[in-house]
Amino acid sequence: MTTTTLLDVRGVTMRFGGLTAVNQVDLTVGQGEIIGLIGPNGAGKTTFFNCLTGLYVPTEGTVSYRGTILPPKPHLVTRAGIARTFQNIRLFANMTVLENVLVGRHTRTREGLLSAVLRGPGYRRAEAESREKAMELLEFTGLAAKADHLSRNLPYGEQRKLEIARALASDPGLLLLDEPTAGMNPQETRAAEELVFAIRDRGISVLVIEHDMRFIFNLCDRTAVLVQGQKIVEGDRETVQSDERVITAYLGAPFDGTGSTASEAEK
Amino acid sequence: MTTVRSTETTPVVPIPSGPARILTAAGATGTAASAFLAWTWTSGFPGDLTVYGYPGGLQWLTLAGALITLLLTLASYHLPGLRWTSPSGGNNGILYAALGAAATTWFTLIAISAELGGLANLEPGGWAAGATSLITLLGALGLPLDRHPRGAGQGITRYLGLRLAKVERPLPPVRELPSPIEVLLIVVAFATGLYAITFGLDTDYGELFTAYLLLAGFTVAALTKSGLVTRLRALAVKHRTVTTGAAFAAAAAFPFTQSSDQYTSVATNILIFATVALGLNIVVGLAGLLDLGYVAFLGVGAYAAALVSGSPASPIHVHFPFWAAMLTGAAVSIVFGVLIGAPTLRLRGDYLAIVTLGFGEIFRITMNNLNGTTGPKVTNGANGIPRIPDLVSPGFTIRGLHIPAFDFGRKHSIGGLELGRFSNYYLLMLLVTAFVVLVFARVGNSRIGRAWIAIREDETAAEAMGINGFRLKLLAFALGACMAGLAGTVQAHVSYTVTPDQYTFAEALPPNSAFLLAAVILGGMGTISGPLVGATLLFLIPKKLEFLSDYQLLAFGLALIVLMRVRPEGLIPNRRRQLEFHEADIPDQAASPETALTKAGA
């Protein structure tokens, strides 16, 4: 594959005291790719995401985006062009749907305190543009009719969509989705798949954490598997599905009859 | 009759609604009439309630309460010309009005008996007033009221067994009025408001103020239930500019209604307190930073202005013109806001509150120690900086038009009306308040304001959306400090002296950090009018309750508890806050248009 590399993660390690949550992980995401990240619970997927977006400062390793190394500050990462959603939805609950998306525009607008007080033509133009862009994103995610609702009052599936719309508002080149279909029914999951493809068609690469294997293998060009903080395999559907280490990680090792666990238990 | 979801329309006292309505009207008429009788035999009770044929003092409040009840009751007969007072068509408003009249009357009767020593001091007129107000209340309880079904009671009325529903009834569609008439209605509403507030400010004994508060609280509740407040609010939203203009015109008209400086000085201090509260609302209400040492910024502004005021006690012997003094105060406050904010704003939540509390005290103690013996001589320590001269706006000439110098300490005559020293400062402070309101409104609804609210809601998510949390929090801190500093510059000149003890964390009288925070929370976080109303009440209640002497703070505390119990979201809630606290009370969005339709069809 000769696409330009967008995200280049090298040797990222995250230790919390004695616990190594993420260990020497390398990952690249190319322009226009959809990459999956799977692994059992507690494998360190979300920690890895937090290292990418600056919420955690990785103990070792570098994260570079379009060739420049990212500083570990969330707002600078977003400004550079990486936006994310959260595993447990983190909307601004008491703001309206439109306002949530407008907050996402923050890095792409410059209007400061003084222009907000003076409300000159430049301010009003920028504000109108932000609104237009936000409404366009709400149309895109199908939430335009609910623009004036408080985001806390949206049903669960729409809250997930709103988080994506809010992330897209920052004009990212790469979108990180942390379990976008958690808690969704099959139809909603199907709709989410469509949405991710539509996002890729806008020229945005996607890196997605998910537990729903069908979702992952339908969507992703490549999938990386993280087990106990280490990337054990990366590749297309066949590579991942046929890898014994992946099966072991998810289903456990086959019982060989002479295992030590049985004798341990007898003692 | 349509019912709103999860409510029933039944009387509390089982009387047929026809006789109940007649009873209410008759009772209210009787109460109104009894206000013209003598209630006591001696003028020893303030307000002179001994005159037949003319109401005095507290009797005016009873009269007003009774007339409002009568008006709402007559409106419920669908009398032409009165329908506007009660667009919702519900009877809960009548009950609240009757409660207000009864509370005012009985408070008066009890106050007379308590102060003069016994029920024997009541004249027949007093007994008549008490009885008729109870009859009104009985009648109102017999009207079909919007109530929760048994077992689902909400709020404070649950304890009284009333089970009154808080749900606002859907209003019938508005009849379109020509624009000038709508504007006129707004002006009339503000003129009435100005009159009511002036009455409250001018109450010269505590009993009158207490009864006034009782009546005002119940009347506002009554008019809210009757739907009038909702209608007026819709008008205000429609004509926003006119409303803002009318509000400031009404506020500016206040000194012209006063014959002496006695109450304009109170009003000036209220404005100072309210402006600082509004500044704090940027920090607490918008950005969600709990600041317990905010009064220090008022102090910084006041000290800065005092030092450059030309006061003989100031070690800096300069005398800035008034605009420069104000700018200095604001600028120094910003600097201190950034200096204090930079190290503290890395903390979140409770930790931030504790550190700001500490910085507030550090300011006061530092001012105490810059006295020449325990530190460099800057502030004269506990003695403060006295004899601050009055502000003087220098005269100047623009294009041949000469604007004379204006000394804020002198009396001025405008259109035959004398404006004293405090009136001058009041008007100056009103300009400052207007400026702060403008800044709050515009910044609050902008990219910066949205970022603040996002930080308040979820700081981690806000940062992940590209908001530089630290920088924006610092901005909120600095802007809030600037607003307080601006008010401080005026305060220094109004009170002639600045001392460190004016800027403590908690004290019996405002302004101090605890009261400022209370004003914001009580009034309504994140709104403009909330802190203004909250500050006004918090300033007036302790001041007017001085007659209770030893029990003053107790009564004040009780008043606060009652207020917060009745309205946890503040007196003037932010739309969002209201949803947060009363989610259960607000009918489903899907259900409301439907009920509105049936209502309109009925």
Helix (H) or strand (E) holding B247: helix B240-253
Model confidence over A155-168: pLDDT tens digits? 998 999 999 999 99
Neighbouring C-beta atoms of residue B455, cutoff 10 Å = 26
Taking CB atoms and an 8 Å limit, are A75 and B447 in contact across chains?
no
Task: Please choose, from the candidates B390, B602, B370, the residue with its C-alpha nearest in 3D space to the C-alpha of residue B496.
Answer: B390
Task: Please choose, from the candidates B75, B104, B74, B101, the residue with its C-alpha nearest in 3D space to the C-alpha of residue B88.
Answer: B75
Taking CB atoms and an 8 Å limit, are B466 and A106 in contact across chains?
yes
Provide the token pair at B114: 């308590």
**Which SS3 state, helix, strand or coil, does residue B306 take?**
helix
Q: Mind telling me how many Å the CA of A179 is from chain B's nearest CA?
A: 16
CA of B439: which chain A residue's CA is closest?
A: A117
Output b/e per residue, A236-245; b: 16+ Cβ within 10 A. Answer: ebeebeebee
Residue of B140 and B171 predicted with greater confidence:
B140
| pLDDT above 50 (res B208) | yes
Q: Mind telling me how many Å the CA of B580 is from chain A's nearest CA?
A: 8
* Chain A positions in Cβ-Cβ contact with residue B449 (cut-off 8 Å): 116
CB of B397 within 8 Å of a chain A CB? The answer is no
What mean pLDDT do residues B430-457 have? Answer: 94
* Chain B positions in Cβ-Cβ contact with residue A103 (cut-off 8 Å): 450-451, 454, 462, 465, 467
Q: Give backbone dihedrals phi and psi of A154, rounded to 5 degrees, phi first.
A: -75, 150
Taking CB atoms and an 8 Å limit, are B443 and A95 in contact across chains?
no
How much is the CA Rg of chain A, to the nearest whole Å? 21
Model confidence over B509-536: pLDDT tens digits? 788 898 999 899 888 888 998 999 999 9
Taking CB atoms and an 8 Å limit, are A86 and B576 in contact across chains?
no
| pLDDT above 60 (res A108) | yes
Nearest to A166 among B465, B469, B589 (CB): B465
Taking CB atoms and an 8 Å limit, are A75 and B468 in contact across chains?
yes
* Chain A positions in Cβ-Cβ contact with residue B443 (cut-off 8 Å): 113, 116-117
| pLDDT above 50 (res A246) | yes
* Chain B positions in Cβ-Cβ contact with residue A74 (cut-off 8 Å): 460, 463-464, 466
- Dist. CA B489–CA B308, nearest whole Å: 10
Tell me the ipTM for this assembly: 0.91
| pLDDT cut 70: percent of chain B above it | 92
pLDDT at B171: 76
- Dist. CA B329–CA B486, nearest whole Å: 6
pLDDT at B576: 57
Residue A65: strand pairing partners: A7, A68
Task: Please choose, from the candidates A2, A5, A1, the residue with its C-alpha nearest in 3D space to the C-alpha of residue A173.
Answer: A5
Task: Please choose, from the candidates A95, A144, A145, A140, the residue with its C-alpha nearest in 3D space to the C-alpha of residue B589.
Answer: A145
Beta strands in chain A (DSSP E): 5-16, 19-30, 34-38, 60-65, 68-69, 82-84, 174-178, 205-209, 222-227, 230-235
Taking CB atoms and an 8 Å limit, are B579 and A94 in contact across chains?
yes
Residue A38: strand pairing partners: A225
Taking CB atoms and an 8 Å limit, are A99 and B450 in contact across chains?
yes
Q: Which of B440, B447, B450, B473 to mutate to test the interface with A (most CBs of A within 10 A)?
A: B447
B390, B421 contact by CB (below 8 A): yes
What mean pLDDT do residues A218-238 have? Answer: 92
Output b/e per residue, B495-525; b: 16+ Cβ within 10 A. Answer: bbbbbbebbbbebeebbbbbbbbbbbbbbbb
Taking CB atoms and an 8 Å limit, are A90 and B461 in contact across chains?
yes
- Dist. CA B522–CA B500, nearest whole Å: 27
- Dist. CA B476–CA B49, nearest whole Å: 53
What mean pLDDT do residues A8-27 have? Answer: 93
pLDDT at B156: 54
CB of B435 within 8 Å of a chain A CB? The answer is no
DSSP code of residue B572: S
DSSP for B262-284, please give it.
HHHHHHHHHHHHHHHHHHHHIII
CA of A112: which chain B residue's CA is closest?
A: B448
Task: Please choose, from the candidates B197, B210, B211, B214, the residue with its C-alpha nearest in 3D space to the C-alpha of residue B258.
Answer: B197
Neighbouring C-beta atoms of residue B376, cutoff 10 Å = 10
Own/partner contacts of B173-177, CB < 8 Å, gap of 24 or more, are B173/B600, B174/B231, B174/B234
What's the CATH number of domain A1-81+209-254, 3.20.20.70, 3.40.50.300, 1.10.540.10, 3.40.50.1370?
A: 3.40.50.300
Model confidence over B454-501: pLDDT tens digits? 999 999 999 999 999 999 999 999 999 999 999 999 999 999 999 999
Nearest to B465 among A106, A111, A123 (CB): A106
Taking CB atoms and an 8 Å limit, are B457 and A93 in contact across chains?
yes
CA of B438: which chain A residue's CA is closest?
A: A117
Q: Mind telling me how many Å the CA of A132 is from chain B's nearest CA?
A: 14
Taking CB atoms and an 8 Å limit, are A116 and B438 in contact across chains?
no
**Which SS3 state, helix, strand or coil, does residue B446 take?**
coil
* Chain B positions in Cβ-Cβ contact with residue A111 (cut-off 8 Å): 446-448
Lowest mean pLDDT among B49-58, B60-69, B128-137, B330-339: B49-58
Task: Please choose, from the candidates B223, B221, B187, B217, the residue with its C-alpha nearest in 3D space to the C-alpha of residue B200.
Answer: B217
CB of B591 within 8 Å of a chain A CB? The answer is no
- Dist. CA A146–CA B144, nearest whole Å: 37
CA of B452: which chain A residue's CA is closest?
A: A103
* Chain A positions in Cβ-Cβ contact with residue B434 (cut-off 8 Å): none
Nearest to B457 among A84, A86, A95 (CB): A95
- Cα A185 from chain centroid (whole Å): 20
Taking CB atoms and an 8 Å limit, are B458 and A75 in contact across chains?
no
CA of A49: which chain B residue's CA is closest?
A: B464
* Chain B positions in Cβ-Cβ contact with residue A105 (cut-off 8 Å): 447
pLDDT at B599: 33
CB of B586 within 8 Å of a chain A CB? The answer is no
Taking CB atoms and an 8 Å limit, are A94 and B457 in contact across chains?
yes
For B:466-485, CB contacts with A below 8 A are 466-469, 475, 479
* Chain A positions in Cβ-Cβ contact with residue B454 (cut-off 8 Å): 92, 95, 103, 106
Taking CB atoms and an 8 Å limit, are A86 and B468 in contact across chains?
no
CA of A148: which chain B residue's CA is closest?
A: B576
| pLDDT above 50 (res A262) | no
Query: Across all residues in chain B, what is the average pLDDT?
Result: 85
Residue of B89 and A81 predicted with greater confidence:
A81
Q: Mind telling me how many Å the CA of A176 is from chain B's nearest CA?
A: 11
Query: Across all residues in chain A, what is the average pLDDT?
Result: 90
Three-class SS of B486-519: HHHHHHHHHCCCECHHHCCCCCCCCCCHHHHHHH
Distance between terminal CA atoms of chain B?
8
Nearest to B447 among A75, A92, A109 (CB): A109
DSSP code of residue B40: B
CB of B442 within 8 Å of a chain A CB? The answer is yes
CB of B450 within 8 Å of a chain A CB? The answer is yes
- The label of the residue with tokens 């990459």 reads A35
What mean pLDDT do residues B13-40 have? Answer: 91
Task: Please choose, from the candidates B50, B54, B199, B204, the residue with its C-alpha nearest in 3D space to the C-alpha of residue B112.
Answer: B50
**Which SS3 state, helix, strand or coil, does residue B580 take?**
helix
pLDDT at B578: 55
Residue A207: strand pairing partners: A35, A176
Residue extents of the structural domains in chain B:
8-169+177-248, 277-393+419-539
Taking CB atoms and an 8 Å limit, are A170 and B465 in contact across chains?
yes
* Chain A positions in Cβ-Cβ contact with residue B460 (cut-off 8 Å): 55, 74, 90
- Dist. CA A132–CA A116, nearest whole Å: 18
Q: How many CB pairs under 8 A join A and B?
A: 104
* Chain A positions in Cβ-Cβ contact with residue B439 (cut-off 8 Å): 117
For B:505-564, CB contacts with A below 8 A are none
What mean pLDDT do residues B442-465 have? Answer: 94
pLDDT at B281: 94
Nearest to A92 among B442, B449, B458 (CB): B458
B408, B428 contact by CB (below 8 A): yes
Lowest mean pLDDT among A181-185, B302-306, B490-494: A181-185
Check the CA dihedral B217-B219-B222-B228 and report its sign: negative
pLDDT at B577: 53
Nearest to A117 among B439, B462, B475 (CB): B439
Instruction: Please report which confidence band the pLDDT of residue A222 belongs to, taking 50, 70 and 90 as the band edges.
Output: very high
